[in-house]
Chains A and B, each alone.
Chain A
Amino acid sequence: MYGVSQEQLDQIDILLVQELIDIGVHSVIIVDVAGNVIAEHDNGNSQCDVHAFAALAAGNFAAVDAMAQLVGEQEFSVHFHKGEKESINFSKVNDDLLLITIFGNDVSLGFLRLKTAKIIEEIISIWKVTEY
């Protein structure tokens, strides 16, 4: 079992809200490879079952990663699914974490990717786990 401190979680929460929710992202979730929800935020209109979503997201990411290896790629570090109203972007933070954003057509993918890359760097510098 492992965890991070309250301060670290606070810092991550602030990042997610200020950098993503405030620019119009509908929902953002950080998930670990086991499928655990590490942090989550939404704009107040989300009815998504976040634990089920996390389990599926971690499984999906792991499956695509395994496919990457089968075709001789190290990894596909970003995955993107486009819907009519909602789209989902998956980014790998490090070997243990994924950052998932759900957003509508009003957010440009280019801008989102730029933001995401920046946030990932910050999360990596914040993230120090304690094992129990």
Chain B
Amino acid sequence: MGFVNVKKMEVLVKLVYYGPGRGGKTTNLDYINQKYKERIKTDMVSIKTHGDRTLFFDFLPVDIGKIKGFDIKIQLYTVPGQVKYNATRKLVLKGVDGLVFVADMQEEMREKNISSFKQMQENLAEMNKDITKIPLVLQYNKADLREEGIPLLDFDTIDADLNGELKLPAFEGSAITGYNVVKTLKKAISLTMLSFKKELL
């Protein structure tokens, strides 16, 4: 849960990138880290395996400026996407304020996207969080592979699979090229900030 520090005039917000293994969550954070170098004063923390898979989480704090005098610090996390790490994913979700679900547009990933999304919903429910209420944006990643002739799900198909009922904001993206990475992030931040009661911000 976001923390408001009235003494330091600072708001800390936790935004988690969730999705199937190898979907591109860490690559999203890598891109943001490169793009906003000047606003990120510290190194990205990654707890990963030798093969560069996320083992626990990535962590990247980004200062986005002031709202009503408060410094807003968005703390970005990724979960480990591999199926076997669900216990770890639950730990990373603790106190989450907003989510980005990174799906993989490759045809062969269709089932993995769906089961990861379902499990996210279950994990949130265990924490008494309702998927229809929590700020959530979807990114259909690896759109760049279309140029390479790799079979991809089309937008409507993947959107019907994951977002048929919820009708959340969803973007095609490419974490490698940066296409819609910032757009996804900005949408997730604005939904998250809006979700906080108006009293303060």
Contact = CB atoms under 8 A, between A and B. Distances in A.
Contacts, number: 93
Interface in A42-70: 49, 51-52, 55-56, 58-59, 62-63, 66
B94 A33 contact: yes
Contacts of B200: 1, 3, 132
Contacts of B13: 1
Interface stretch (A4-12, A85-93, A120-128): A4-12
Interface in B116-162: none
B64 interface: no
Main secondary structure of the interface of B (DSSP, over half): mixed
A104 B14 CA distance: 32
B3 A9 contact: no
A10 B5 CA distance: 11
B6 A3 contact: yes
Sort chain A's interface into a size bin.
20 to 34
A63 B88 contact: yes
Contact of A6 (B7, B57, B97): B7
Contacts of B73: 51
A62 B88 CA distance: 9
B84 to A, nearest CB: 14
B145 to A, nearest CB: 32
Nearest to B59: A55
Interface in B1-49: 1-7, 11-14, 42-43, 45, 47
A49 B45 CA distance: 10
Contact of B5 (A3, A33, A58, A62): A3
Interface of B: 1-7, 11-14, 42-43, 45, 47, 56-57, 59, 61, 73, 75, 77, 87-88, 91-92, 94-97, 196-197, 199-201
Interface of A: 1-6, 9-10, 13, 32-38, 49, 51-52, 55-56, 58-59, 62-63, 66, 132
